[in-house]
Chain A
Amino acid sequence: MRVLMIGWEFPPFFSGGLGVHAYYLTKHLAPKGVELLYVMPYKGVKVSAPWLEILQVPVEGDIGPYLQVLGDGSFKTAFGEDKYPADPVEGAKKYAKNVVRAVLEYIKITGKKFDLIHAHDWITFLAGIQLKEVLGIPLVVTFHSTEYSRTADRPYDKILEIEKAAINAADRIIAVSNKFKQELVERLGADPEKIDVVFNAIDTEPFERVKLSDIKKNHPIVLFFGRLTFQKGPEFFLQAAKLVSEVMPEVRFIVAGKGFLLPSLIQQAAQMGIADKVIFLGYVPEEKKALLYRYADVYVMPSVYEPFGITALEAMAAGTPVIVSKNAGVTDLVKHVLTVDFWDTHELANKIISVLRHRPLRKVLAKNGYMEIKRYTWDSAAELTLRTYKRVLK
């Protein structure tokens, strides 16, 4: 089976769950007899992997999947760089055009024929839809997020239109959790019969290797790690941090990740009088991630929207107790986490204090959580994806 996969990111260059997903999914699809051409943007560095062919396509301007339309009508990347003088949807359209051109050229040169197209998230959907028409082969789309979820309900209507178009054009849709499938049905009008759920998974190995023995620690550590956007709820983390400090002044809070909310978060921490307790770490390189999870006594993911929430699995792989939003897709999968409503910062603070205070709770969460996620392998995610492929080819 030959699959044309249109993506956006691929390690080592990625900023969200999309890149991790593409890496592991393709790695485990290849041995199952799926020959893959992975199409992604070219941004000055050549990317490669032994199990698939990568076709990099030039992009004009620096568009990205995680952007935020601000109230004043301007566009920002989720990471705060002001690089959107123009409409990002125009950028996506140009990217689509380039992808179509590059793929057709590739087909002409190699003479290869594809059985189906698989596109990931809105920025690749236009290309997917156009190629389906041109090549006359089925289209599978995976939603890792929606415009609603990424922007915490401040959607940009043109992006919503692209997502709805993809839902209509796709032969099958993959959602990353049951809860998220519900959202696709209710908010984007997808036909539930057309949706398969394929959970994200975790390769625990990199998280197990880390040893903390050389690092001294003088304070209990509470960790936030994610894009600093409305979607991920960092403000709720700060509010809870303030409450926790009232009860346990010795605790320190790490906010890791970058995003356009960073300046305002720093300001908020200062206004709350907890500037000395919150450490803003900024970008965390891939190889330091596992160490960071390990270093923390509890990982908190207070997302407003969370289609899946792969970082929760990463923290669990590192043996760190996890507190996540009740609405996070990952809670479909795991029982051994604590859950809260993201807006209930008092309850979040209660749970943070509880994890820090009760050693047996930390132990049981860590131990059972680790055992639990061991079951969710990328191999089974690839198996389920393959099942979806087979369904559209029938």
Chain B
Amino acid sequence: MTSIAFYFQVHQPFRLKKFSFFDKEDDPWKRYFNHEKDEKIFRRVASKCYFPTNEIILHLIEDTDGKFRVSFSLTGTFLEQAEMYEPEIIESFRELVKTGAVEIMDETYYHSFASLWDVDEFKEQVELHRKKIWEHFRVRPKVFRNTEGLFYNELGKILEDMGYIGVVAEGADRVLGWRSPNYIYKPVGSNIKLLPRNYRLSDDVGFRFANPNWEEYPLTADKYAAWLKASGGDVIGLFMDYETFGEHMWPVTGIFEFLKALPYKVFENGMDFVTLSEAFERYPVRDELNYDPPVTWADLDRDLSAWLSNELQWAAFNKIKELKQFVQQVNDPKMTHIWRLLQTSDHFYYMSLKYNQDGDIHAYFRNEAFETPYDAFISYMNTLQHFEDLLVERIKSERGGAPAQQQ
């Protein structure tokens, strides 16, 4: 029997304001972040996607006696904004978790690329996420997803040592080669289990569903379930942004009806649903995959190029890394939090200069924050520079205030 493993990514970044040198605001929390815009976007997405989709999923679980099963990854920044703007949404996720048919996964609290440059920082951010998840849902996740699906062999070992039983990653062609994505694998260099994303079937829903120029348009639950069956294998990883439902794809596209009908069509075709840890427990490892160089789930390139492929992005990334020493010296939780919010991958995505086929998608997300990649870079770097100055000032004044140490 083939199983279906749905996993939905739920994330909101703390967007930056247009930085102004002439702003008189002293509090960096208020000066740097565009809380107004975040709130507006959060409320919009909550009403268009989070609330209605949660309700549909809850109904499907109840109606199928828990046979419809899904996994979620909720970033810490998403949960923090939910606390600030729509606490009921957390309650709604809690209800889902209570059914026993919904699994919560782990990731970095800040939706960052910390794993790329500092394992200790990465672990701390994961620990913060675990705390937040425990606080709200009283669960300890067993499966990990890294920011933007970023995975590479070395990360497997780190995650295994951290106690995770499995990880999800992109089922990129260059990694799979002749293999089907619909099996459990392990990466080179560790024994953690890995389920690749079936990107074709995932993107049929996540990207192509509402595209009238697509030859398969319109996509019905019937047709899709038949594709899943034909795709076969042990377990099909369908991973997508949660906003696919109602936000990227508006209700008028029929996306909600599709979701409502799909589980029954899957059962009719002799398949079932599993959460990710169930997938890892039920199915054996079939082969080893080599995730070198690193792979992500973004763009056609499925690499880091959306975030780290031009000089602006490199400069920004280097700068945020450099600030670690100052943040540690100042050791103020509020400042550390700001530093980490600035690590969120979205900030780097907005600076992408890739004007190819993926350019429209980049612009779609960026326009929620900045008009152009250059505007994104300018605000980010000026914010970072200002933040650095604040940190350095604090360090100086603390030293100056303790003359005894100078002797």
- Using Cβ atoms and an 8 Å threshold, which residues of chain A touch B22? 243, 246, 346, 349-350
Q: Whole-angstrom distance between the alpha carbons of A338 and B374 in the complex?
A: 7
Residues 334-350 (chain A) with a chain B CB within 8 angstroms: 335-336, 338-339, 346-347, 349-350
Nearest CB of A to B318, in Å: 10
A90 to B196, CA, bound (A): 78
Q: Which of A109-130 contact B (CB under 8 A)?
A: none
Select which of A246, A350, A361, A368 is within 8 A of B20 by beta carbon: A350
- Asked if A247 lies at the interface with its beta carbon under 8 angstroms from chain B, I say yes
Q: Which residues of A contact B20 (CB under 8 A)?
A: 346-347, 350
Q: Which of B310, B355, B374 is the most central at the interface, judged by chain A CB atoms within 10 Å of its CB?
A: B374
B21 touches A247 (CB 8 A): yes
Q: Is the CB of A365 within 8 A of B374?
A: yes
Partner of A360, one of B315, B371, B375: B315
A263 CB → nearest B CB, Å: 29
Number of interface residues of B (CB under 8 A): 21
**A360 to B318 Cα, complex, angstroms:** 12
Which of B19, B355, B371, B374 is within 8 Å of A361, CB to CB? B374
Asked if residues B315 and A335 are in contact (CB atoms below 8 Å), the reply is no
Q: Are A351 and B314 in contact (CB under 8 A)?
A: no
* Complex Cα–Cα for A353 and B22 (A): 11
Q: How far, in angstroms, from A246 to B22 measured CA to CA in the complex? A: 9
- Given A338-B374, A365-B374 in contact, is the A350-B21 Cβ separation under 8 Å? yes
Chain B contacts of A32 at CB under 8 A?
A: none
Expressed in whole angstroms, the minimum distance between the Cβ of A175 and any Cβ of chain B is 24
Q: What's the tally of chain A residues with a CB closer than 8 Å to chain B?
A: 23
A361 touching B21 by the CB < 8 A rule?
no
Q: How far is the CB of B246 from chain A (nearest CB, A)?
A: 32
CB within 8 Å of B: which A58-76 residues = none
Q: For the complex, what is the distance from the CA of A223 to the CA of B20, rounded to whole Å?
A: 21
Tell whether, in the assembled complex, residue B311 and residue A353 are in contact, meaning their CB atoms are under 8 Å apart.
no
Contact between chains at A364 and B382 (CB < 8 Å): no
Q: Is the CB of B381 within 8 A of A354?
A: yes
List chain A residues, Cβ under 8 A from B378: 338, 350-351, 354, 358, 361
CA distance A346 to B18 in the complex (A): 11
Residues of B within 8 A of A353 (CB): 21, 382
Say whether B180 faces chain A, with CB atoms less than 8 Å apart: no
Q: A349 touching B314 by the CB < 8 A rule?
A: no
User: Is B385 positioned at the interface, with any CB of A under 8 Å from its CB?
Assistant: yes
Among residues 8 to 61 in chain B, which have CB atoms less than 8 Å away from a CB atom of chain A? 18-22
A347 to B371, CA, bound (A): 14
Q: Are A361 and B18 in contact (CB under 8 A)?
A: no
CA distance A247 to B386 in the complex (A): 13
Q: Is A363 an interface residue (CB 8 A)?
A: yes
Q: A243-B22, A364-B353 are in contact. Are A350 and B310 (CB under 8 A)?
A: no
Residues of A within 8 A of B312 (CB): 360-361, 364
On whether the beta carbons of B385 and A357 are closer than 8 Å, the reply is yes
Q: Give every chain B residue within 8 A of A357 (Cβ-Cβ).
A: 381-382, 385
Query: Of A335, A349, A358, A365, which is within 8 A of B355 by CB?
Result: A335
B133 to chain A minimum Cβ distance, whole angstroms, is: 37
Contact A350-B353, Cβ < 8 Å, known A243-B22, A247-B21: no
B372 beta carbon closer than 8 Å to chain A:
yes
The reply to whether B21 and A364 contact each other, CB–CB distance below 8 Å, is no
Per CB-CB distance, the 7 closest pairs between chain A and chain B, nearest first, are A360-B315, A354-B378, A360-B311, A247-B21, A364-B311, A358-B381, A346-B22
Residues of chain B whose beta carbon lies under 8 Å from any beta carbon of chain A: 18-22, 310-312, 314-315, 353, 355, 371-372, 374-375, 377-378, 381-382, 385
A-B contact pairs, 7 of them (CB 8 A): A243-B21, A338-B378, A350-B18, A357-B385, A358-B377, A361-B381, A364-B310
